[in-house]
Amino acid sequence: MNSLYYQKKLSRNVGDKFFTSLSVFCAFIAILPLIFVVTYILIKGGAQINSDLFTLEPNPPGDDLDAGGINPALIGTLIITTIASIIAIPVGVGGGIYLAEYSKGGPFSKFIRFGVNVLAGVPSIIAGVFIYALIVSTKILFGSMYSGLAGGMALSILMLPTVIKTTDEGLKLVPNELRYASLGIGASMYTTILKITLPSAFRSIATGVVLGIARAAGETAPLIFTALFSYYYIVGFEDLFYEMGSLAVLIYNFALEPYDAQNKLAWAASFILVISILSVNIFSRILAAFTEKTKRV
Amino acid sequence: MEEKLILFKNRKRFGIEKNIDIIFKNTTLVLSSLVAVVLFGIILVVFIQSFESFSRYGLNFLVTSEWNPVKDEYGAFTAIYGTLVTSLLSLLITIPLGVGTAIFITEDFVPKFVREIVGSFVELLAAIPSVVLGLWAIFVMEPFFRDFFAFLHNFFGWIPLFNSEPAGRNSLLAIIILVVMLLPIVTSIARDSLNQVPKKLRNAAYGIGASRWKTIFSVILPAALSGIMAGVLLALGRAMGETMAVTMIIGNSNAFSWSLLSPGYTISSMLANQFGEADGSQVSSLFYAAFVLMILSLVVNIFAQWLVKKFSLKY
């Protein structure tokens, strides 16, 4: 008679309750790190934000009580990420176009797709080691050793797989009817790709690429022995061929200094880096959700 | 009348247009093969640079832990051991935590919007740069865990893993920060594979009277296992190559110790620390270490891809 009712004390129900609470506990633990990290960065980094931060050079660690600002590192991060994008976006989008539009699933495209996944798994520090051996130690770039240019190249290796993957997948989502229609009225293959398929996949590709750039902006390992670090303002074009600071390397260097002033500067740099990366992420998430809703009304 | 005729004339494509088409196709072909060039380039360059050290120490490099630039003696055992121990132990903690979170997100214990918030929080965690996590680990996490480590040492000091005085920066802290970094990877891949399990399976299990967790353990998790395994392997590859946060918190000491409470080394933290100032045969030895790291992560990655292909869901 009772067997049809829910019985709390039944071992299966007790077990279910136990595992459910365990799973809720896991989820609780999982969101803690983000909350703690972001809170500390907002509090500790936000307190350091002032106008000097954006305009001054950082002072070398030492007896100075005032650490200065992060202007060169901020500009350096922008320059290095731009260089990386200039290299990785054309190569990645071009490669993605080949995979999605031209290849017919043969061994070559299978191999390239496999290679993209493998390259995505290569540790970021290996990209730095590679560029060090190829460019820094050989002084192949007009005799300069550590340079912003070399740093940008190292970052581009990390961006490349992301860009190819998002282009490939974005183009695959474009319905074939569009291609047939375009080819059917006599457009050539490259007109079809440039005028029809690429524009209709633009938003998904752009989202992926922007996320890739945001990810690259926070990468440190490939820069510590390619771009190295610099305390001085970036004034002209020729600075590309010399050591260049970046926010990420500044955080790394100054976090390990025993001086309080430098540590504070590291927190301030983290604040700026994390706020920009998180806002790019959240913005593209909202945009993606919005596109999802308006698609195919 | 005249114009209409032109409209219906059989127009041929100009030679130049055909050429542009061919050039465009071949350009994209070259760009896509650049991936292979870069990949092989990396392997080749690192191998060539490590050749000097490779021919000098051979495989002994992997099992000796002497690292002495003055005497020119190099062996990377401490770093290799540290890489394996930190990545495997952190994975051991991350797997239940990540899969548990993924189950929380895919089941319906709580309303959908709460689950979506938890899901995006975990994914945003992946966007935090590793160097920032390192900074946070140094100034927030390390003081927080100090008493706990002292407790571990006092009560579990008889276990070799805890038998040294807790150092300010140590392997256990590196493991904890790795858990934070791996959690988003394992969770999001486990969530995707759990979502792909067809609803029919769940309904069938409920239909024959299985409870919710009986269904999860005996039906849903086994069906999603291959995807979860692949995610775990990707996370393992990531853990082995992770550099910044680990370098900042592991203490960077080449003295070998079984204890997790003493400072350690990983291959990537050794590279980050020494590459800038190294010269002579030390550079070659560092390249050798980099080569070992690359092979480790390549093997793990390729195995993960193979696993996905071999055991992907066929419903």
Give residue for tokens 């000491």: B253
Q: Look at B25 and A282 and tell me if their CB atoms are within 8 Å.
A: no
Nearest CA in chain B to A270: B132
pLDDT of residue B97 exceeding 60, the answer is: yes
| Mean predicted confidence (pLDDT) in A194-218 | 91
Q: Do A125 and B42 make contact, defined as CB atoms within 8 angstroms? A: no
Position A297 confidence tier, pLDDT thresholds 50, 70, 90: very low
Quick one: A158 exposed, middle or buried, by C-beta within 10 A (0-12, 13-18, 19+)?
buried
Query: Residue B166 above 90 pLDDT?
Result: no
Span B208-247, pLDDT tens digits: 989 999 999 999 999 898 889 989 999 999 999 999 999 9
Overall average pLDDT of the A36-42 stretch: 94
Output the pTM of the full model. 0.91
CB contact under 8 Å between A123 and B214, yes or no, is: no
Interface mutation target, options A132, A210, A219, chain B, most CBs of B under 10 Å = A132
Kindly report the number of other CB atoms within 10 A of residue B28's CB atom: 23
Query: Hey, what are B38's tokens?
Result: 């870069």
Higher pLDDT, B74 or A87: A87
Q: Does B139 touch chain A (CB under 8 A)?
A: yes
Question: Are A118 and B301 a contacting pair at CB < 8 A?
Answer: yes
Tell me what the mean pLDDT of segment A28-49 comes to. Answer: 92
Which residues of chain B are within 8 Å of residue A218 when distances are taken between CB atoms? Answer: 127-132
pLDDT at residue A231 above 60?
yes
Identity of residue B12: K
> With a CB-CB cutoff of 8 Å, which residues 118-137 of chain B face chain A?
118, 120-122, 124-125, 127-136
Question: Which amino acid appears at position B4 of this protein?
Answer: K
Residues B239-284: tens digit of each pLDDT = 999 999 999 999 888 888 888 899 999 999 999 988 878 877 888 9
| A29 interaction partners in chain B (CB closer than 8 Å) | 97, 101
pLDDT digits (tens, 9 = 90+) for B303-313: 888 887 777 65
Which residues in chain B are closer than 8 Å to A189, comparing Cβ atoms? 21, 24-25
> Would you state the pLDDT for residue B312?
64
In angstroms and rounded to an integer, the radius of gyration of the C-alpha atoms of chain A is 25
**Is 80 exceeded by the pLDDT of residue A62?**
no
- Residue among B125, B135, B275 whose CB faces A132 most closely: B275
Tokens of A149: 């240019």
For the segment A170-185, the average pLDDT, to the nearest whole number, is 92
pLDDT greater than 90 at residue B24 = yes
Distance from the B301 Cα atom to the nearest Cα atom in chain A, whole angstroms: 6
- Distance separating alpha carbons of residues B251 and B173, to the nearest angstrom: 9
Q: Are A151 and A80 in contact (CB under 8 A)?
A: yes
B298 contact A CB<8A: yes
Give residue A254's identity as a one-letter amino acid code.
F
Q: Considering only CA atoms, which of A264, A218, A224 is closest in space to residue A69? A: A264
**HSE on the CB side for B107, CA within 13 Å?**
22
Pick from B138, B183, B211: which is nearest to A30 by CB? B183
For chain A, the average pLDDT equals 89
Say if the ipTM goes beyond 0.85: yes
- Tell me the per-residue pLDDT of B105-152, one tens digit each, with 9 for 90 and over: 999 888 999 999 999 999 899 999 999 999 999 999 999 999 899 888
| Subunit contact A112:B33, Cβ cutoff 8 A | yes
Rounded Cα–Cα distance for residues B296 and A42 (Å): 38
Q: What is the pLDDT of residue B315?
A: 54
* B211, closest residue in chain A (CA to CA): A12
Confidence label for A296 from pLDDT (cuts 50, 70 and 90): very low
Q: Would you call A122 an interface residue with chain B, using a CB distance cutoff of 8 Å?
A: yes
B276: contact with A, CB 8 A cutoff: yes
Within 166-225 of B, beta carbons closer than 8 Å to A belong to: 180, 183, 187, 211-214, 216
**Could you give the dihedral angle defined by the CA atoms of residues B275, B277, B279 and B282, in that order, rounded to the nearest 10 degrees?**
-50
Reading the block at residue A92, the tokens are 């990645």
Cα A69 → chain centroid = 24
How far off is chain B from A74, nearest CA to CA, in Å? 15
